[in-house]
Amino acid sequence: MTTRATASSLNLPIAEIVLAGPRGFCAGVERAIDIVELALDVCGPPVYVRKEIVHNPHVVETLRTKGAIFVDELDQAPDDATVIFSAHGIAPAVRDEAQRRGLRVIDATCPLVTKVHLEAIRYAREHYTIVLIGHEDHDEVIGTLGEAPDRIVVIDSAAEVEKLEVNDPEKIAYLTQTTLSVDDTRDVIAALRRKFPKIVGPSRDDICYATQNRQAAVKTVSTDVDVLLVIGAKNSSNANRLVEVAVNHGTRAYLINDVRDIRPEWLESARRVGVTAGASTPEVLVSETIEWLRHDSVAVREIRVVEEDVRFGLPQELERMARDRGVTVPSRNVMRQSI
């Protein structure tokens, strides 16, 4: 995949490419993609996936060519289908519908999203009003909201806290979408604590390790580059937050789906160009971006703020299907390279 011209042919002044690390796929995304591929091996195509398995069109298209069929709702899948729920999680009503229809279900919800769902269930059972910090139109928030719609209020900014009213200020809790800006979320939580001193929250931060690590890497790289290219889909929350983090640190930053989105005028005065990728972005898109930017005299340097070694196991229902059909389950100790 190439553009009509490269940085070299356009005589752009790039002297160094600075890569942010970590970047790209997180453990939840790795797991979700593995689930679809193994389900195709075990069950045979087609396998139906409700919503995008992860928010990246390149990943979705690759899986589609292997036999995955992506649908918006369960009524688009036939009654005898195998259906996979995306990494972003689902509302209980979706699970109930699948059970009523007798669909074979494999749940690819990221375990860190499942953690937020379980927290919502617990707080709801204890009769708390739950403030869910997140974007109300995001698949993850829609799924979490479905756990206790009568008890959850969604907000996405500190400004909304001032207008927030609850029945009992003594019984209020907060949760967060896993892919938010760490800094913005901290401000919202601080505002909530000022207004509701009795508010409680999860014992461990809901924002996932990968989101935090990628934002920390962007903060470090942003001080060292003239412009930052963030590779990710427009509907990827964590990729959009990486752009915001860089801009808030005074660095020009642009979200690109792939190299075809690069506009040469962004780079006309840039000697150091930073590159990173959202947690749903395959590394091959990073490699293509580097090749577009570099020429013989361009140095490539990586700045890593932390090493990641998180792995998540496969769903028990998929492992059981694989055993029953004699399909070998791939090792969880090796990072994927196929997409």
Structure-token pair, residue 118: 């379980």
Classify residue 205 by burial, with Cβ atoms within 10 Å: 0-12, 13-18, 19+.
middle
- Active site (annotated) includes residue 317: no
- Identify the DSSP state of 16: E
Cβ burial, residue 166 (10 Å; 0-12/13-18/19+): middle
CA atoms within 13 A on the CB side of 310: 19
Return d(Cα 274, Cα 169) in angstroms, integer: 45
Contact between 208 and 28 under an 8 Å Cβ cutoff? The reply is: yes
Among residues 37, 140, 147, 288, the one annotated as catalytic is 140
Q: Could you give the CA distance from residue 328 to residue 331 in angstroms, rounded to a whole number? A: 9
Is residue 122 within 8 Å of 98, Cβ to Cβ?
A: no
What does the H/E/C string look like for 178-217? CCCCHHHHHHHHHHHHHHCCCCECCCCCCCCHHHHHHHHH
Question: Would strands 299-304 and 272-277 be described as parallel, antiparallel, or unpaired?
Answer: unpaired
Query: CB 68: neighbour CB atoms within 10 A?
Result: 21
Taking the C-alpha atoms of residue 256 and residue 239, their distance in angstroms, rounded to an integer, is 10
Among 247, 205, 253, CA closest to 228 = 253
Residues with a catalytic annotation lie at 140
